Each structure stands twice: as C-alpha cells, then as structure tokens.
Structure 1
Amino acid sequence: MKKRSSGILLHISSLPGDYGIGDFGKGAYDFIDFLEHSGQCYWQILPIGITGYGDSPYQSFSAYAGNPYFIDLNELIQLGYLDRKQVEKADLGNHKHKIDYKKLYDYKMPLLKEAYENAKIKLRHELDRFLQAEGDWLENFALYMALKGFNGNQSWTNWTEGYENKGTEAALAFQKTHESEIYFWIFTQYFFFKQWFALKAVANSKNIQIIGDLPIYVAEDSADVWAHPEYFKLDAKRRPTCVAGCPPDAFSATGQLWGNPIYDWHYMAQNAFKWWINRIDYSLNLFDMIRIDHFRGFDAYWEIPYGDLTAENGKWVKGPGIKLFEAIQKELGDVNIIAEDLGFLTESVIELRKATGFPGMKVLEFAFDTREESDYLPHNFDKDCIAYTGTHDNDTIMGWMDHVMKSDREFAVEYLKLDKHEGYNWGFIRGIWSSTAYLAIAQMQDFLGLDSKARMNTPSTLGGNWVYRISDRDLTKGLSEQIKHMTKLYGRL
C-alpha cells in the first residue's frame, strides 16, 4: 500500500565497519537501528552484485550473484573458519571514509579462500543443497568465475580457445577437474545470501522495507552473456554487434558509452520474456521493492556500433514496450517497482510508465533551471512518485550548491527559503519531505551535510567512484532525532 513515508539511500559498501568496506556485519545492523530511531520506513541501496573493472555496481559478473566483499568476516571467525589475528593482520584499508578496492581484492579474497578451505568438508552437504536450490544461475556463475581465474581474470572474450561457452568439451572437462575452484564461488554465494536474508529479516521486523536496484543491462564480462548468448545481439564469434549507452547531450558532447551488450528482444519475446520474468522474480525475493535503472530503455534504447570509441554514432531502436511488463504481470502479478525515468523523456516513455502503473522519480537537484519550468519542482509533483534530493549519480546537496550556476542557486534559495542557519541540506530535504510525493528519499550524505568529496559517482568518469563510506560516529542520536522530527512534521512517520 502506498502510504506517505520516507527513507534513506546508502549503499552496503558505504556502511561503517572494521574491514575496509561496508558489509553485512554490525555496521549494517546499527544502521537499521538508526533508520528505526529516525522514523524511516525504507532503506534504499545500489545493486549488490559482484563488481569488476571500475568497481561499479552497475557492471557485474552476474545478474544474480552477490558481492563477496559484503560477507561479514566476523561470522567466519566465530564459526572457526578464520583466525581473528590473521584477519586483523590483513591490510584491507584503514581510511574511515574511503574504500580501497585493490586492497580488498589482494587481501579479503584470500581470506575468503582460506575460510573455504577450512569449511569445505564440513559444509559440503549444505553447499550441495544450496547449489541444487539455486540451480542454473549458480552453476553457470561458479564455473564462469573459476574459468575466469584460470584465464588470468580476463573477460571471457579473451579466454583460451575452447572455453567460449559452458557447453564446450573444454569447459565440461574443466568442470570435472577443478571442482574445488568452482565450489569456492558457491561457498561465497552461500554465505552472502545467508547473511543478506538474516539482515533483511531484521529490517523487516522493524517495519523497514529495502529498495534494491536492478540495472537494465548486464556486463559483457558476465556469466549471463557467456552462458546464454542467445539472449543478446552477438555475431558468429559471440562478440556484440552493438552496445548500450546514451546519446550526446548538454552534459556530454560525445554521449555515454556504457559498453553493455544489447538484448535480442525479438528472441526474448519469442520465449515469452522468461529471462526477464525470472530476473524480476528473483530480485523481488531479495528486496521488498526494486528500482529499475534506465527505464526509458524499455521503450527505446540508444544502440551504438560495437568498437566505437564514443556514443555519437548510435541510433534509437524500439524496445519491447508494454508487452514485457504484461508478461511479467501475468506471471508474477502486481510487482513493486520504481521506474527510473530521469532525463529527456518522450511521450511514448511517459505513456509506457503510466501503462505499467509504476511510480516515477523526481530529483530536486534537477528542478532549479531558470531557463524553463521543470517537472521536478515540488509544486508539479503528483502523489504517485518518489521524490529524491539526489541519486547516487548526483553531487551532494552541499556540493551542488557550491558548483551550480549562480542564477540556479538563487532560484533554489528563493523557492525553498534556504538559509545557512537551518543548513542548505536540510532545506532541500524539507522540500521533498513536505511535497505531495508518497515516498521521499535522501542520500545519507545529504543528512550529514557533506560536500562533493562524499559524492558516490560522477557519470562518464573512471576512478574515484563508489568509494565513499560513513563512520559509526556519523550515526548520532541527535541526527536521528532531527530526521524523526522532520518526518513527523510532514506526515511521513
């Protein structure tokens, strides 16, 4: 039921903790307590998949597998699979507000492998049961990751000839002779999901719903493309014929080249969209609500020739449209989905979102353009939308105030009645908390009043993204009381 409520956006990786990155340990449970004490109903996170080059959660080795970096090492210590002194000696990074992904790769992954070696005999029956329960995706993923390690951690497109698909003789032979390497990846997923569902159960018991994030595309370097090439536009050598991105606009003269393979929507339609139905069904088991990134790609997507260095030579191609969501609704019933409908929208995209019944997004940082009237201004909201101060791709509010054009900043100050005494960040939060949107969400960085150094991601850049973390000292009683007061004041408690 869509009741008036609010929540906080903070990714798992950004939680406080002792082991270099936010995880499913004490920091996560403390944050749930903070949400409860702050009167919040929702915790929104980013994709929780295993990340690759660039560390982006939107480029994962699997549409299903979880990120082993999020496994709480303390549980492995308590179970006797790791020695605490050994863990404490590992250099996982000691910066309280930044993640060092190289150190996690160099030191946390070996710790997980050590834990597996110590647990594999005792847990073998449990791992077999888990593999049987998770079926096709887990078997493909574990084999893919073991083969990836065998091939110098390169993308499958650069592997030794003979391993280019799961059904080759070489791949089948590898599966028989490298069981331990394959079961290590089953072990990581076993503990990832065991800890995730325990965390989610506690959140739900405190009436906190979790909003997950579903990227529209999967990475070329993924078990999904390797194991099921038939679902993607690939050539005879299984290389993409085209890739995804965004066209040139005011923010990027050459557009955005994401590089993800494009779905073969014709083939998917012939198969009753089973791949997408399974993915949505699986995600709704993991989360209480899901946000689908780049929703406009279901109406029409920007298709770029494979090998191009920019997105300039792309073209718009019609997507599956309402037929996909009719198939999902037929199989799964009404689904709890947020449509990420930001950016330039055509009438057909707007019509598609309305036809699905999914609420769209309103981002307040996009509202203050003195050149034109904006749909993101709160007086233009309807009730059936999700209002944000900003998303993970936006600057923090304080950073935005520092870098935006003077005329737009003055517009925001006048419209929201901002003043330094209250704090510009709190004025922005008040702007969406007081709006008609049934759900209002702000980044944790904005509640803390942080500048651009705390920004999570700057689109079209590589390096320095996805690294921000809060510390346990940030989650004060005073801050939770301030959030709760505003939440109660505007009828969202």
Structure 2
Amino acid sequence: MRFQRQSGLFLHHTSLPSPHGVGDLGAGARRFVDFLERADQSLWQFCPLGPTSAELGNSPYQSFSAFAGNPLLVDLRDLGERGYLTDGELEPPGGVSEHSVNYETVGSFKRDRLRTAFERFDEDATGADRESFEAFREREAGWIDGYSLFMALKSHFDGRLWTEWPDAVKTRQPDALDKYREELADEVGYHEFVQWVFDEQWQALYEYASDAGVKLVGDLPIYVALDSADVWAAPEAFQLTEENDPAVVAGVPPNPDDSGQRWGNPLYDWDRLAENDYDWWIDRLERLFELVDITRIDHFKGFDEYWAIPAESDDPADGEWRQGPEADFFETVEAELGDLPFFAEDLGFIDESMISLRDRFEFPGMRVPQYADWCEGGHMYQPMHFPENAVGYTSTHDTDTVVGYYRDLDDRQRDCLHYNLGTDGSDINWDIIEAVWNSNAVVAMTTMQDLLGLDSDARFNLPGTATGNWQWRVTEAAFDEDVAERLRQVTDRTIR
C-alpha cells in the first residue's frame, strides 16, 4: 500500500476565484489551500496543467504540450508587483463573470498583458529575475526549446496544424529550424518568459500547499494531442509515417451498445521507447513530479494494451488491440525515479490483464458511486464495497454532480440507494460524501461542487460535447467556515 488513509478535494485551477475572469496561481489558490487546511484535507487534485486551445474547446486534456504550463493560469497581480504591469493594466476586463469562464474574452485579455509584461521584462528586468530566467531555461532545456519554437512557428503559420507546415519544418530539417529560430527569436523568448513565470508562481504555490500539509495531485493523460510540441519535437516516440503523419491513432473499440470512439491521438512507438529506456516518458514524468506529489494516470488500460485505429479510417471498429509496454514500463520508471505515487484510472475496460498490472504495482484504482447499481448486492461501485486499495470519488470532472445524478436516477435505483445508505436523500451530497469517507478506500475525494450541493448547472465537463465545458468557477464566499468544519468533522470521524 503506497498511501495512508486520507482525503481531499478536486478543483481545477481555472475554477478558482480571481479578478481576471479565470482562476490563477495567486491569492485565490492560496485561499483554497487555507480552506483545505481548515477542513483537515491533505490532497488537492486537478486536471492537467498544459496550455489549452480554443479550437479544441479549451480542454485540459488536449494541450499543446505535456510539459508546459497554461498561460491562462499566470497570476497577473504578481507581474504587477514585479513592476511588469501597471495598476491600470490590472483592471479586470469587461464581460467576465465570477461564476464561469469566458475563454474568448479572458484569453485575449491575458495574452495582451503577458506580452506587455514580456516587453518590460526584456527591457528592464532586474538582475535577479534575469538570473532566475536563465537558470530556468538551462534546467528545462530538454522541453522548453522545442515547445517555445513550436508555439512561435504555430503563430507564424497562422495557427495551422504542424502536419500542414512546409515539409522542411514539419520534418525538422536542421537548416530550417535554425532559420526560424533566428527569425522568430522574439516570439520564442516570449513563450520562454511565460513558462518561467508559470514555473516560479507554481513553485511558490507548491511550497504554500506543502507548508499547509496539502499534497498536490496532478493528472497524466496517457496520450498527447497531435497538434502539440510533444509529437512535433519528438516524432521518434510515436508511430508516424516517413512524412511524420500519424500511422495509427488512439480510440476504443465498439461495445454492444455503442460504435466505439476514435480519439485521434497519435500512438506511441513502445518498442523504440523501450530500446531507449522510455527516455521521453522519463523526461515527462520528471517534469510532472517537479510540479505535483501524486498523479492520476488517465486511461491506465493503455499501458496494458491499446486500441490502434488506422489513421486513414474514421471507423473505430477498424482498429485492433496491441500490446502495451506492461510491467517493463513501470519497472523502468521506478528504477529511474523511485517510488511510483500513481492513482490508476481503471474505469471502463476492466479485464484480468489490466487488473493484474495495476495490482502488481499496488496502484489504487478508482471507485465512483455514480456507476453503482444500487439494487445489486455487493456491486463494486457501492461505497460499502470499495476495496482498501482504491480512490473513492463522489464524482469526477467527467460526471454529473451528486445532486444532478441523484435527480436523474429512476425510482427503483433511488429507493435502493436510500436503503443502502440509510437516507431519505434530503441531504444527498453529504450522504454520498460520508459514505465514501466511511468506506475502506485508502483515499476519499469529493469535488467543490458536491461539497456545496450544486446541481447539474455546475457540471465541469460533459464527455462527447465540444462546447460549454471547463467553465464553472467557485466564488470566495464558497470557502465557508461552516462547510470546512462539517467536512473536518466527517474526516475526523472516519479517521482520514
């Protein structure tokens, strides 16, 4: 068992309170840490931190980089305190809400301020800031060089997918890269600056959380986006054609009640990665563990075996199962990095080989009551039947809130839920929280939405939809003393 009995909250940073229309790494994040400390919670979980794209619905699971931080999360007030922005430039933009993120407005506002701050840094940075910036560039050179050039090129080529760039750049011919690195030096510097600021602010927040006894739980999507610096800068890590186009893409096969899914992410060349001791993955995990203490592995099944769909096909049924890296991957990572503080997202394709891989390394899997059949005795997603080596969630970023879920239950399931939990459902969010906290699961997690008893209007993401997601925000008033005290009492009573 890799974890002690403990509990925490899920809240992504974009949902935090801030004056600039989207959560950031500043005062709102520290107030949430204070709330967690008052509630006696030891974990803060969130979505991936990478730069997001409006074209891809601002999803944190479709990022331009698995290494970089999201510029939208940069705290502008910190840049004001450093002298890189004026008070007037820190005035909030019009048309923003404290309850939801308007990504179009916020994105334009923040990009404008970040570019202004970079120009002033370039002209008037203090010696200490320049020294810190250069140390960051040297320390993170393994990814920052490729990422910042990729973003500069993406702007230069009007935002087009990198597979549509001129062949010499697409296939990374050295002369072409040298030419653009010189021609786009200012734009490259801007992206390096933003990542340096993100890193400094993140490390300050990490220390603040650590001092409060709160560990940070990140999220590791197994796949990266095609339109990313990851694939462009390290094509050898992926199954690509000679022209650097995907040969096969990720997805899942059809079930009896659906036609499967074609995600479109490029797939890894696991054989080549294994020959090089999974070097790209080691670099990725080293960077991630500079930022977090624990991480959830999304789609854990893909390390056991993965569904490979020919890139030219739109039909998931045309794919086939192929062997993943299995135990060799985790043994190599453990030998290189030490202990493996992973939660395994094992929902969906649960089979004997995946369970064997998960249990071999004692990774706790996920249990979510919203997937329970409340009328079936001993169902694995009923909290009273959670195993010890599991992470119990009241809901996740991809599910409805507890209140919304309960409202939509049919009468039979609702009656069975009442019987199993000994409740009339009048305080259903706390009923589920207490059931998960009281379970055998070594880790118990809830969301801010469930803690506040919010309905489906506060849902964070609806899978399979391209718009209206990732927008929900919490106000400072929600970090309520009475709510924190009630959660503290539940946590104390269930010995977490």
What TM-score results when the alignment is normalised by the length of structure 2? 0.95
The CA deviation string for residues 426-446 of structure 1, in whole angstroms up to 9 with x for no partner, is 100011000111110011100
The verdict on how the C-alpha distance between 1:54 and 1:312 changes in structure 2, with shifts beyond 3 A counting, is: farther
* Counterpart check, 1:74 vs 2:71: no
Which deviates the most, 331-340 or 80-89?
A: 80-89
Q: CA deviation at 1:87?
A: 3.0
For 1:229, the equivalent position in structure 2 comes to 235
- Aligned mates of 2:424, 2:484 — CA distance in 1: 21
Q: Partner of 2:249: helix, strand, or coil?
A: strand
AA partner of residue 137 (structure 1): W
Q: 2:193 aligns with which of 172, 187, 197?
A: 187
Which structure 2 residue ranges, 5 or more long, are not aligned? none
For 1:482, the equivalent position in structure 2 comes to 486
For 2:380, the equivalent position in structure 1 comes to 375
The CA deviation string for residues 93-119 of structure 1, in whole angstroms up to 9 with x for no partner, is 421211111112222111100110011
Q: Partner of 1:163: helix, strand, or coil?
A: helix
8 Å CA contact 2:96, 2:105 repeated in 1 = no
AA partner of residue 294 (structure 2): M
AA partner of residue 147 (structure 1): L
AA partner of residue 229 (structure 2): A
AA partner of residue 376 (structure 1): Y
- Residue correspondences, number: 489
Q: CA deviation at 1:89?
A: 5.7
Moved over 4 A (4+): none
Q: Share of identical aligned residues, percent?
A: 40
* Counterpart check, 1:42 vs 2:43: yes
Task: Quote the RMSD (CA, aligned, Å).
Answer: 1.6
* Counterpart check, 1:158 vs 2:159: no
8 Å CA contact 1:368, 1:409 repeated in 2 = no
The verdict on how the C-alpha distance between 1:247 and 1:374 changes in structure 2, with shifts beyond 3 A counting, is: farther
For 2:412, the equivalent position in structure 1 comes to 407
The verdict on how the C-alpha distance between 1:164 and 1:234 changes in structure 2, with shifts beyond 3 A counting, is: same
The verdict on how the C-alpha distance between 1:322 and 1:247 changes in structure 2, with shifts beyond 3 A counting, is: same
Q: CA deviation at 1:2?
A: 2.5
AA partner of residue 34 (structure 2): D
* Counterpart check, 1:418 vs 2:420: no
Alignment of 1:246-285 (within 5 A): 246-249=252-255, 253-285=258-290
For 1:334, the equivalent position in structure 2 comes to 339
Q: 1:62 aligns with which of 65, 88, 91?
A: 65
- Aligned mates of 2:92, 2:440 — CA distance in 1: 52
- Aligned mates of 1:166, 1:7 — CA distance in 2: 44
Alignment of 1:94-173 (within 5 A): 94-121=96-123, 122=125, 123-173=129-179
- Aligned mates of 1:416, 1:447 — CA distance in 2: 18
Q: CA deviation at 1:371?
A: 6.1
- Aligned mates of 1:281, 1:222 — CA distance in 2: 19
Q: CA deviation at 1:65?
A: 0.2
The CA deviation string for residues 404-453 of structure 1, in whole angstroms up to 9 with x for no partner, is 333222222221123344x1111000110001111100111000111111
- Aligned mates of 1:355, 1:375 — CA distance in 2: 20
Q: CA deviation at 1:125?
A: 4.4
Q: Partner of 1:343: helix, strand, or coil?
A: coil
- Aligned mates of 1:18, 1:145 — CA distance in 2: 27
- Aligned mates of 1:20, 1:104 — CA distance in 2: 6
Which structure 1 residue ranges, 5 or more long, are not aligned? none
8 Å CA contact 2:254, 2:316 repeated in 1 = yes
Q: CA deviation at 1:372?
A: 7.5
Q: Partner of 1:210: helix, strand, or coil?
A: strand
8 Å CA contact 2:19, 2:92 repeated in 1 = no
